[in-house]
Amino acid sequence: MRDTILKFEVSALAIRARTFIFSDPRSKALLPLIERTAPSDATVMITGETGTGKELVARYVHQQSARADRPFVAVNCGAFSETLIESELFGHERGAFTGATNAKEGWFEAANGGTLFLDEVGDLPHSLQVKLLRVLQEREVVRIGARRPVSLDFRLIAATNVDLRAAVEAGKFREDLFYRLGVVTLPLLPLRERRADILPLARHFLGVYAEKSGSAAIALSPDAEDVVFHHAWPGNIRELENVIQRATLMAPGKFIEPEHLGLPTPQARSGLPESAPTLAGATESLDQIRATVSQLIGFGEPELLDRLIDLAVREAYALSNENQVRTAQALGVTRNVIRTYLKNAGLIGD
């Protein structure tokens, strides 16, 4: 199956905000949920680490909806002070406070008829959480200094890189708002947990920067690909793009070598990635998978169990370099079970 690429022609955006590649089976597993969610008007919560492409997915959801020809307004909730963000979101009237020399609409009004994307919604102060909940319930805003509400028609997509459920338990985030925002949750895995996306993304960025600079085509050498594939990528797609951009400038010839990447050279491994997931990270990933499976069940996804089993076997088989014994060990079954499944799937011969 060919890679699925989400790509947008929006010149004001950085390249990383216009490209998302679904090549890894775990990425592809999320795509049906995105496709089913996009045409609806449901409120969406996108979760994932910084740099995983949350705004890109939000833009894709918007462009696949009936609101595609209406505004898409993106707001980073962590970019404003607590005193300023209320005015930014809800607007204000002239004279509402010192310095308010003119009336100003807020981001909710700017997104009227379209989609409002609230990034890092977990950074909202508690007082704003209450007001956001009311706006979602009533579909109207009251500007600071005004008495009359303004009725609105908008779709809300929120995103966060923090564990909002833990924030709810700690009393830092309202539980009612948590459930109001998470009608549909789209969990984006970090690159280290969807490694089959790494090299296709790297090759895409190589092509983009070669074209932008007007230089000849450039490629990763096999050793450089090994370094890129096994790097932990804590900055995710954003870090990957920056590394590839720098490497295209540093490499003097047609091939990028490991020394041009500025990344740690992989250490000796025993068949596992250099940065194996921690127990806490694995638990968080299972929580994300559980949420996705729950939503797929709710959507009535056909043959869901068979598709999930197929996904698990194919992924384990690929990560074990098509070694049947290691695949069986990874999944906790016998080699005979794996061999039978691989034969039925057409992955091996008789």
Do β-strands 184-187 and 255-256 pair in parallel, antiparallel, or remain unpaired? unpaired
What per-residue confidence (pLDDT) applies to 348?
82
The mean per-residue pLDDT over the stretch 6-32 comes to 65
What per-residue confidence (pLDDT) applies to 270?
37
With 0-12 / 13-18 / 19 or more C-beta atoms within 10 angstroms meaning exposed / middle / buried, residue 276 is exposed
Q: Could you tell me the residue ranges of all domains in the chain?
A: 38-189, 192-301, 302-350
Give the Cα separation of 66 and 20 in Å (integer): 22
What per-residue confidence (pLDDT) applies to 345?
77
What per-residue confidence (pLDDT) applies to 291?
72
Give domain 192-301's CATH number out of 1.10.1040.10, 3.90.950.20, 1.10.8.60, 3.40.50.720: 1.10.8.60
Q: Is the pLDDT confidence value at 272 over 70?
A: no
* Residue 347 banded pLDDT, cuts 50, 70, 90: confident
Least confident of 67-81, 153-167, 289-303, 332-346: 289-303
Q: Do domains 38-189 and 192-301 have the same CATH topology?
A: no
In three-state secondary structure terms, 348 is coil
Q: For residue range 35-64, list pLDDT tens digits in order.
A: 999 999 999 999 999 989 899 999 999 999
Q: Is the pLDDT confidence value at 274 over 70?
A: no
CATH entry 3.20.20.80 includes domain 38-189: no
Q: Is the pLDDT confidence value at 198 over 70?
A: yes
Mean pLDDT computed over every residue of the chain: 83
Q: Is the pLDDT confidence value at 14 over 60?
A: no
The b/e string for 46-71 (b: 16+ C-beta within 10 A; e otherwise) is: bbbbebbbbbbbbbbbbbbbebeebe
The mean per-residue pLDDT over the stretch 231-249 comes to 91
- Which residues sit opposite 46 in a β-bridge? 159, 186
What per-residue confidence (pLDDT) applies to 16?
45
Q: Which amino acid, 148?
A: R
Q: Is the pLDDT confidence value at 152 over 60?
A: yes
Query: Greater confidence, 33 or 301?
Result: 33
Cβ contact 304:296 at 8 Å: yes
What per-residue confidence (pLDDT) applies to 103?
80
Highest mean pLDDT among 76-80, 112-116, 266-270: 112-116
- Which residues sit opposite 116 in a β-bridge? 73, 156
What per-residue confidence (pLDDT) applies to 28?
86
What per-residue confidence (pLDDT) applies to 176?
95
Percent pLDDT > 70 in the chain is 86
What per-residue confidence (pLDDT) applies to 27?
86
Give the Cα separation of 75 and 302 in Å (integer): 36
In three-state secondary structure terms, 228 is helix
DSSP string over 235-257: THHHHHHHHHHHHHHH--SSEE-
What per-residue confidence (pLDDT) applies to 11?
37
